[in-house]
Structure formats: structure tokens, C-alpha cells
Amino acid sequence: MTEPLHPSPAEYTWPERGHRRLIGKRISRVDGPAKVSGKATYTYDVHRPGMLYGKILRSPYAHARIKSIDTSAAEKMPGVKAVHVIQGPGTEIFWAGDEIVAVAAVDEPTAEDAIRSIRVEYEILPHLVIDTDPQRAGDLAKPTAEEVVGDPDAAFQQAEVIVEGEYGLPVITHCCLESHGLVAEWEDEENLLVHISTQAVSSIPNQMARPLGIPAGNIRVKMDHIGGGFGSKFSPDRWGIVAARLSKMAGGRPVKIMLERDAELMVAGARPSAYGRVKVGAKKDGTLLAWESTSWGTGGMGGGGRPPLPYIFEIPNQRKQHTAIMNHIGSARAWRAPNHPQACLLTMAALEDLAAELGMDPLDFFLKNIALTGRRAEIYRQELQIAADLIGWKKHWHPRGDRSRGPIKRGLGLAIHTWGGRGHASNCDLTIHPDGSVEIKLASQDLGTGTRTGITIVAAETLGLPMDRIKVMIGDSRYPPSGPSGGSTTIGGVSSATRRAALDALDQLFAKVAPALNARPEDLEAVQGRIGVKGDPSRSMSWEQACARLGGMPLTVRGRNPGPGHLTGSGVGGVQMADVSVDVETGVVKINKMVAVQDCGLIIDMKTAESQCYGAMIMGIGYALYEEKIMDQLTGRMLNPNMEFYKLAGLGDVGELIVHMMTGPGYDERGVIGLGEPPVISPGAAISNAVANAIGVRVPYLPLTPDRVLEALHKKGGHHATH
Amino acid sequence: MRDHRPSDGRAASLSRREFLKISGLSLSLPVVTDFRVIRVAGAEVKIFGPGKVPVTLNINGKTYTAHLEPRVTLLEALRDAFHLTGAKRVCDRGTCGACTVLMDGRPVYACSVLAIDAQRRSITTVEGLMNEGRLHPIQRAFIDNDAQQCGFCTPGFVVACKAFLDKNPHPTPEDIRKGLGGNFCRCGTYMGIRAAVLQAAGMQKGGASHD
């Protein structure tokens, strides 16, 4: 590898507006043809010679101790190649669906038969799987110390209007369409090859090394495409280690374990619940004075997260206390924008209730208090105005409770959100071959966000080449390490590393060709497939002619993030508004229209950026209206570990959606910032607020199912006010 | 649980495959021969297996043969026996549409058809939609309108859209909302899919849909 030159940091910049040929344009994803034709290979599609199928016997009980395990019938079964007890007699089990025994067999039906033949005796222990009442949790409730900011007692004394309400959202699951899983095979005694559905190609080897007792460098991880992760696929998981063990027991034959749908929903990812009793106070003119919250939630035995309350609005006087409930459900995992959708609902719903009590339009109320949002106040102000125009807020908004005749009530609601999104650590090797071809290697992964496309755009833009001249290779741990795809950090990381690699490579290429053009390297530019002297079109040569001057050796340059120059940033603002109709006779909520106005710094690909926002709104409509991991306290089991009753939003459920990306001065110069998390934060709150505006009462808990809507109408809402 | 009885010996409900085997979904005459006949509720029912039987399928105009247990679904046969992995296994019980293929031109969930029952049918999978290496207009429209993110639901959606447009060549947006309700996407690509269907139907010129 050639050592890069070291230009001054000022040279590592993005092209100025007006000089961007590809960046920020609306470009189709480069792996689109592979995906629409069925040729894109996912982990679930990997088929290796001699491959065995692994299956796992799971605990039917939420809390139990294993008394005995009898695997003798399975071991004798023809076609069964390995049986591995994962948790043996005496082990305490903490959730239904936990792994007990694994088998590997020549085909799936045989593996299923083997699992069925295993006999396990359990001592059943008391369990808790519900989370709506912290009092019932006993020792499993872990309260944190009360936090006080300012003087909440005095502020509530001062407040002219105070509302109190209860709000919450249940545990939901990730429900990745491609379930978790892998194919593990020993290439020899010491080396393991793993095809795995993961958000973290570079960090899987290290996570598998210790349990398997081999160096991380002996583990190679590959993944071309992933069928969804959303925060749930950073670990090899216990079944990943088990697959490697089964493979070893079977003489190194590849073992494929992909979770069945029920296991996927029971154990492979859940978003923590959050509930809270919230009290907020303001002056009559709408000036926010005081916040008080008692909140709780669960993320299984891990206890879950703690929503940052109050969300975004730094109310000067606060008292808040949170209790983590540890209960017997499959463990929580990061779910797009961890803790933010929960904090957003608990805050934005309480503020909207307060605005309603004040008799204020919530848009005016938010604008009145916008300074409390801190350094992004101006972004929110701009976004609120744009969103209001796009949804027709001033025309369609009415005070709480649609007074029109008939059972269909229409309402508007809004919410605002924020997220970090600075680019993660990333290494990129960019190679220019003497024949002019260009290849880029990163051990990154494309979750469907358009990572391959973003890398291609940046390299093509920088090198002055068409996109089809750039070959991007990701998804192999043998490539230079790149960060896990979580927390909206990927696009900032890979685009910055690629930009630095391409700029350095160009510098070195310029040095090789400058003499032939009778110019200094710093006077050259790469545009439209040629390298030439800036401002003098007569002195140039084709890209191929230039690359031929590299001689026999390809030029490889390593680009890194973080690194010199300001290429990625952090901290975005977004606003969403929802227009809903509610049938007060049936309780059914319909989305008429939703608007997302979002900032994410410099946008690499407008088309896939917009897709992130549309997709996040749709996922948000799902958890606002339909999704809930329903746990049965009697049996300790999940009642809906399937896709009939764990409901996702369908194509007909999402209404009209509008996305507006903030670009231009004030946004582009902040650098590239990630977008996966922010737009999924606001939908629950915006839709809940719109429903309250429509029917005149608050439905306290998501999802806003017909029974909850009818119950709220019957009870006349979940909040009350004092003046 | 999928084909999975609780191991503590308590009674399990009827599994999906057992249901398929006795539910009368198998109307065509399978070409396999090793069956026996029993009488159920006064009718004669052919029983295949439980061992492997020869299964011949016509997929994308080609003939494929394998020895499969009668409980093997069409989806498992496509993916595991014939390595046609375009159709995806997701819910595995006829809810999500990710495994949609055409059987005699009509869309079916391949997870809910037994392979032995798919014999003598003409099966088209997403792999069969391309013509001499060229993308089908629906596939082109999916790319143009970014009707995919992770892409796992995409093959099923593409096939469902093909079947939908064959039946409704000039759909309204309302037709699309109703007609494509049998497939789920987790990333949330429905805006792109709606626009792609309109583009493919020739009702909208190419390019981005929602700008």
C-alpha cells in the first residue's frame, strides 16, 4: 500500500453547491437490479455443499429451572449429525423461548423431528411478563433516584395551567423479515467461515472468538445482503455460537440456523416499553414552566432503557423519576433510535394536552416555547413552518374535538425529534488499477439504506467518473474494518472514509501524470472521465491514459474516518405532522396524510434519503396503530409470535405521505449526517396527538387500537387539568 | 410454533403441514405413485409418505425433480432442493406474501402449497420474470421508484404486482391499495411500490414517483 500524501485538512471538504454532479441528486440504488430479480443473496439464501440444518428446542416457560434433559431419541435418529445441550439441568430459564437444546440434521424435517423427540422436565417458577403496573413487579422493579432541575415546586405554584396525564407505549418487536441466523462451517480445525445476517460485519469475529476459543483473525464473516436489522442484529447471538459448535461436532460440515418466525418475535429483538405519569405547567400565555414525570418500562431481564425526559424541550424546572422493570420476556435490543420514540410520545402528548387546556393551537404553543429546544431552535422553526404549509395546518386544524356531524372525526397532530448521527469509524481501501478500473473495499454492510450506493456516488463524484466504473465491495470481514450500522452512523462514516481515500488517490495520480501535461499536480482536476489542467481543456488526457502511467502496480489508498477535515456532523432536527380520521363508532383510526420535514446535513443520495423517511413514517404508523408484543401473564408466553396477530402496516394503511428534506445553506455545510433513526421517532406522538385532536380525548397508550380508542371515548380521556 | 410441539409432552395443536395434508387443498392428481388409500369421513383419501417420494415440478419453463417428503412445501422445494431462492421464507404461514409465486398464472403463497400438489402446474418465480436477461417492466419500475430497501419482501411483491397487473391492467390507486394488501414490507417501501405499479401500468411516466 502506498502511503497517502497529507494535504492540509482544509482540502478534505465536500464539493461546493453547484459543483456536485452526483451528490444530492436523485439516484437509483446500485443493487436495485439484484434485489428486484431475486438474485441478491441473503444469509437465508446461502446454500453450502454438505450443509446441515440446525434447529433449537426452546423453553415453553417464562421462568423455570431445568430438571432433566433426555436427547437419546434424537441422537439415534437417522440423519441427525449433532446434538448439543445449550443449557443443562439445574439452569434457571428467564423467558419463554430461551434456547435449551440444538440439533443439526441432513434436512429440515429431520431436524424438526429430532427436536420433537427431546424430553425436558422443568420446575416451573413464578413469572412476571406484564409491565403496565410497577407495583406488581415487586423486587423486579428497580427505581432510580429522583432527579430535580431548578425549583419544580415553586414553578408549579407559579403555573396558571397544569395538566396531568398518563401515556405509554408497549414492547414491540423488530420483526425483521429475514430472521436472525447464520451458516457456520469449519474450513479446517482452526478456521471458521460464517455467513451471517448482521449489522456488524467487522465486529462479529471478535464476538465469536472468545466463546469458541480461537483468534478473531481465524473467523471470516461474509454477508452480501441483509433482510432488515433495525438495531437487533449486532451480535452473533447464542445460536451463532451454537451453530459453530454443531458444525465442529459434525466434522466441520456447514450448519445453517435461521430462526423460525415465532422464535424471531419471541427472542430476537424487542423495543423496551415506556409508560409515564406526566404533569406539566405553564403560564396562561403558554410559557412552559415545569415538568414532573414518574416513568417506568421494561426491556426484559436487562430492564430496558430510560427515555430522555422531557424530550427536546429543556423545561427550566423538572422533577423526574424512572423505574426499570425486569420481567420474564425476551431481552430488549436497540430498536431504531433507542429511547427516543418513547420520550417523544411521553413529552409531545403531555405538551399537546397542555396546549389544548390552554386553548392554544399546539403549533403556536411549540413556536412560543421553541427557544427551549436550544441550538436547533431555528431549524425547528423553519421545519414547523414548512410542515404546516405541506399539511395545511392553518386550514384544517381545529380546537380539540372535531365538532362536525357524523361518526368520522378528523384531527391534526404534530411532534418534533432529534438524533445524533455522526459518522462512525470506517476504513476504506480504494484501488485504481493501471487499466483504469476502480475498486473499493470496506467491511461495512448495506442494511437497505443505500450504503453501497452512497459509497459509489462519493467515489464517482470525487474521481470524475461515471458510477458504473466504480466497483464497491462490502460485507466481508477480510476487508478494512468499518463500524457497525447502528445509530445512523454508517453514511457519515463510509462517505467520509471514501471521500478521503478518493482525494488522496487522486493526489497521487495527479503527481504521476502532471509532467506529461506539463503542469503542477495541484493544477489538475478529474472531470468527466478525464484528467486535465483546470481552466485549460486543451491540456488533458483520458482517465485510462492517466491510469496507465501507474506502471505495473495498482494504486491502493486507505481512507479513514475520523480524519482530517470536516466531512461528517451530528445533531439533526425533524418535524412530523399527521392528519387522521377516527370512526368514533368503531374506534378505527385511519391515516389521511403525514408530512415529514427532516434535516440530515449534506445529503448524498436524495432518492434513498427520502426512502428512509417514507419508510420510517410507515414503521411509525405501524407502532402507532398496530404493533404490540402481547404477553399473557397466565402462561408467560407471547400470544402473537406470528404475522397474523403481530400486525405490520400494509400498503393500504399508510395514507398519503410527503417528505421534505432540508438542504442548502445552513444544512449542507454541516457535513454528512445519518438518517436511519430520526424520522421514526415522531410518528407515534404525532398520530396520538392527531387522534386526541380528532376525538377530543387522549388515548393514553399506543398502539391506538379500536378497543383503546373506544375505551378512551367512554372514559373521556387519560388526562385531567387544574387551573 | 411452527411444526414444533412443546417438549413437555402436552398436546400440541394441529400443525400447518398436518392441516395441509388433510384439508382437501390437494385437488390435482400427483404423479407420485407410492401412496395408500384410506377412508376419511366417507371419502377416499390418498396418503403419501411419510418417506420421500419423487416430485417433478415445472418451474420457469424447466423441469426439476427431487425426492422429497410429502410434507415439504413448494417454498422449501424451490429454495432448498432447487436453490431458487428468490421467493423468501418469512412468516411461513400464508400471511406476509414474501414467498409469492405464480401457479398457472395465479399468485399463491409458496409456503402454503405442498410441493407434491404443485406438480403438473406451471410455476413462475421471480427468477422467471426476466426476459433474455432484460428486466421485466415491473422490475424496472421498482428500481426507478426505489420500491425496495432491504429487498427481502421485494421478490414476493414483484411477483404479486405482476399477477395484480395481469388482472387489473389499468388500476386506480384504490385498486392498488386493496389488491396489494397481501404482502408486507418492514422497511416501509409502500410509497415506491404504489408508484412502481402505476408506472408499470403505463399510467405514469418513468422516474421518481414522489418528488
pLDDT of A718? 54
| Chain B nearest CA to A682, separation (Å) | 16
Give chain B positions within 8 Å (CB) of A100. Answer: 7
Measured distance CA(B27)–CA(A431) in Å, rounded: 59
Instruction: Residue B62: count other Cβ atoms within 10 Å of its Cβ.
Output: 9
Strands A317-325 and A288-298 come out as parallel
Measured distance CA(B73)–CA(B92) in Å, rounded: 10
Q: Band of the pLDDT at A394, cuts 50, 70, 90?
A: very high
Nearest CA in chain A to B182: A650
DSSP character at residue A144: P
Dihedral pair phi/psi, residue A416, rounded to 5°? -130, 160
> Residues B49, B114: contact at Cβ < 8 Å?
no
Strand, helix or coil at A720?
strand
Measured distance CA(A638)–CA(A305) in Å, rounded: 21
Measured distance CA(B146)–CA(B193) in Å, rounded: 8
- B19-57 as b/e: b if 16+ CB within 10 A: ebbeeeebeeebebeeeeeeeeeeeeeeebbeebbebbb
Q: Does A395 have pLDDT greater than 60?
A: yes
| Chain B nearest CA to A660, separation (Å) | 9
Give chain B positions within 8 Å (CB) of A37. Answer: 86, 126-127, 129-130, 135, 139
Type of residue at A63? H
Using CB atoms and an 8 Å cut-off, which of residues 215-274 of chain A contact chain B?
225-228, 230, 258, 260-262
- Domain boundary among the residues A516, A533, A561 is at A561
Using CB atoms and an 8 Å cut-off, which of residues 584-613 of chain A contact chain B?
607-608, 610-612
Q: Does A716 have pLDDT greater than 90?
A: no
| H helix or E strand, kind and range, residue B74 | helix B74-76
DSSP character at residue B79: I
Give chain A positions within 8 Å (CB) of B4. Answer: 112, 115-116, 260, 262
CB contact under 8 A, B186 and A648: yes
Q: Does A160 have pLDDT greater than 80?
A: yes
Type of residue at A313? F
Nearest 5 degrees, angle CA A673-CA A679-CA A685? 145
| Chain B nearest CA to A176, separation (Å) | 7
Q: Band of the pLDDT at B7, cuts 50, 70, 90?
A: very low
Give chain A positions within 8 Å (CB) of B72. Answer: 109
pLDDT of A438? 98
pLDDT of A8? 57
pLDDT of B206? 43
Q: Does A387 have pLDDT greater than 70?
A: yes
Q: How many CB pairs under 8 A join A and B?
A: 209
Cell of A171: 414492547
Residues A610, A709, single domain; the answer is yes
CB contact under 8 A, B7 and A39: no
Mean pLDDT in residue range B143-160: 98
The answer to whether residue A330 is domain-embedded is no
CB contact under 8 A, B126 and A37: yes
| Crossing angle of the two packed helices B137-144 and B154-167, in degrees rounded to 10 | 120
Max Cα distance, chain B (Å): 62
Q: Does B29 have pLDDT greater than 50?
A: no
Of A36, A121, A617, the CB nearest to B148: A36
Q: Band of the pLDDT at A303, cuts 50, 70, 90?
A: confident
| Chain A nearest CA to B42, separation (Å) | 31
Q: Does B157 have pLDDT greater than 70?
A: yes
CB contact under 8 A, B154 and A617: no
Alpha carbon of residue A486 to chain centroid: 6
Using CB atoms and an 8 Å cut-off, which of residues 28-67 of chain B contact chain A?
none
Measured distance CA(A710)–CA(A699) in Å, rounded: 9
Measured distance CA(A693)–CA(A352) in Å, rounded: 9
Cell of B77: 422445494
- Domain boundary among the residues A532, A561, A590 is at A561
Q: Which residue has the higher pLDDT, A722 or A441?
A: A441
Of B3, B69, B186, the CB nearest to A175: B186
The answer to whether residue A524 is domain-embedded is yes
CATH 1.10.150.120 domain residues, chain B: 137-200
Measured distance CA(A59)–CA(A510) in Å, rounded: 64
Q: Does B2 have pLDDT greater than 50?
A: no
**Could you give the number of structural domains in chain A?**
3
Nearest CA in chain A to B137: A36
Measured distance CA(A471)–CA(A433) in Å, rounded: 12
> Residues A446, A474: contact at Cβ < 8 Å?
yes
Measured distance CA(B52)–CA(A5) in Å, rounded: 65
Cell of B201: 401500468
Q: What is the pLDDT of residues A633-689, one digit of tens each?
A: 999 999 999 999 999 999 999 999 999 999 999 999 999 999 999 999 999 999 999
Instruction: Residue A507: count other Cβ atoms within 10 Å of its Cβ.
Output: 18
Mean pLDDT in residue range A690-695: 98
Q: What is the pLDDT of residues B87-109, one digit of tens each?
A: 999 999 999 999 999 999 999 99
CATH 3.10.20.30 domain residues, chain B: 16-125
pLDDT of A37? 98
Q: Does A453 have pLDDT greater than 80?
A: yes
Q: Which residue has the higher pLDDT, A132 or A470?
A: A470
Of A32, A45, A118, the CB nearest to B143: A32
| Chain B nearest CA to A259, separation (Å) | 10
pLDDT of B4? 38
| Chain B nearest CA to A700, separation (Å) | 26
Closest of B157, B47, B45, B43 to residue B96, by C-alpha = B157
pLDDT of A687? 99
CB contact under 8 A, B90 and A643: yes
Residues A487, A625, single domain; the answer is no
Question: Which of A83, A86, A177 to probe the B interface (max B CBs under 10 A)?
Answer: A177
| Chain B nearest CA to A548, separation (Å) | 33
The answer to whether residue A199 is domain-embedded is yes
CB contact under 8 A, A607 and B148: no
Cell of A452: 453501497
Question: Which of B80, B90, B99 to probe the A interface (max A CBs under 10 A)?
Answer: B90
Nearest CA in chain A to B5: A116
Tell me the CATH number at A449: 3.30.365.10
Residues A543, A579, single domain; the answer is no
> Residues A462, A392: contact at Cβ < 8 Å?
no
Q: What is the pLDDT of residues A201-231, one digit of tens each?
A: 999 999 999 999 999 999 999 999 999 999 9
Mean pLDDT in residue range A169-189: 98
Type of residue at A103? V
pLDDT of B49? 80
Nearest CA in chain B to A51: B80
pLDDT of A154? 98
Residues A451, A545, single domain; the answer is yes
Residue B82 touches partner A, C-beta closer than 8 Å: no
CB contact under 8 A, B90 and A57: no
Nearest 5 degrees, angle CA A662-CA A665-CA A669? 95
The answer to whether residue A156 is domain-embedded is no
Residues A588, A695, single domain; the answer is yes
Return the CATH superfamily for domain B16-125: Beta-grasp domain (3.10.20.30)
| Crossing angle of the two packed helices B190-200 and A606-625, in degrees rounded to 10 | 120
Using CB atoms and an 8 Å cut-off, which of residues 10-39 of chain A contact chain B?
26, 28-29, 31-39
Residue B151 touches partner A, C-beta closer than 8 Å: yes
Q: Which residue has the higher pLDDT, A330 or A719?
A: A330
Q: What is the pLDDT of residues B61-96, one digit of tens each?
A: 999 999 999 999 999 999 999 999 999 999 999 999
Measured distance CA(A631)–CA(A132) in Å, rounded: 11
Q: What is the rounded average pLDDT for all residues in chain A? A: 96
> Residues A680, A336: contact at Cβ < 8 Å?
yes
Measured distance CA(A338)–CA(A335) in Å, rounded: 5
| H helix or E strand, kind and range, residue B68 | strand B62-68
Nearest CA in chain A to B80: A47
Q: What is the pLDDT of residues A561-608, one digit of tens each?
A: 999 999 999 999 999 999 999 999 999 999 999 999 999 999 999 999
Cell of A176: 425483521
Strand, helix or coil at A288?
strand
Residues A597, A672, single domain; the answer is yes
Of A228, A641, A643, the CB nearest to B96: A643
Question: Which of A35, A67, A258, A595 to probe the B interface (max B CBs under 10 A)?
Answer: A35
Residues A680, A551, single domain; the answer is no
Q: Band of the pLDDT at A722, cuts 50, 70, 90?
A: low
The answer to whether residue A510 is domain-embedded is yes
> Complex ipTM, two decimals?
0.96
Q: Please tell me whether the peptide bond between A554 and the residue prior to it is cis, using omega within 30 degrees of 0.
A: no
CB contact under 8 A, A648 and B184: yes
DSSP character at residue A631: B
Q: Return the CATH fold of B137-200.
A: DNA polymerase; domain 1 (1.10.150)
Tell me the CATH number at A52: 3.90.1170.50
| Chain A nearest CA to B135, separation (Å) | 7
CB contact under 8 A, A611 and B127: no
pLDDT of B85? 98
Cα end-to-end distance, chain A, whole Å = 72
Residues A517, A605, single domain; the answer is no
The answer to whether residue A134 is domain-embedded is no
Residues A655, A528, single domain; the answer is no
pLDDT of A153? 98
Cell of B12: 400440541
Residues A635, A549, single domain; the answer is no
The range of the structural domain enclosing residue A435 comes to 9-40+423-561
Residues A27, A51, single domain; the answer is no
Cα–Cα distance list, B2 to A54, A109, A228, A276 (Å) = 14, 11, 22, 37
DSSP character at residue A549: T
Q: Band of the pLDDT at A537, cuts 50, 70, 90?
A: confident
Residues A636, A578, single domain; the answer is yes
| Crossing angle of the two packed helices A451-463 and A490-513, in degrees rounded to 10 | 30
- Domain boundary among the residues A240, A258, A276 is at A258
Cell of A276: 409515564
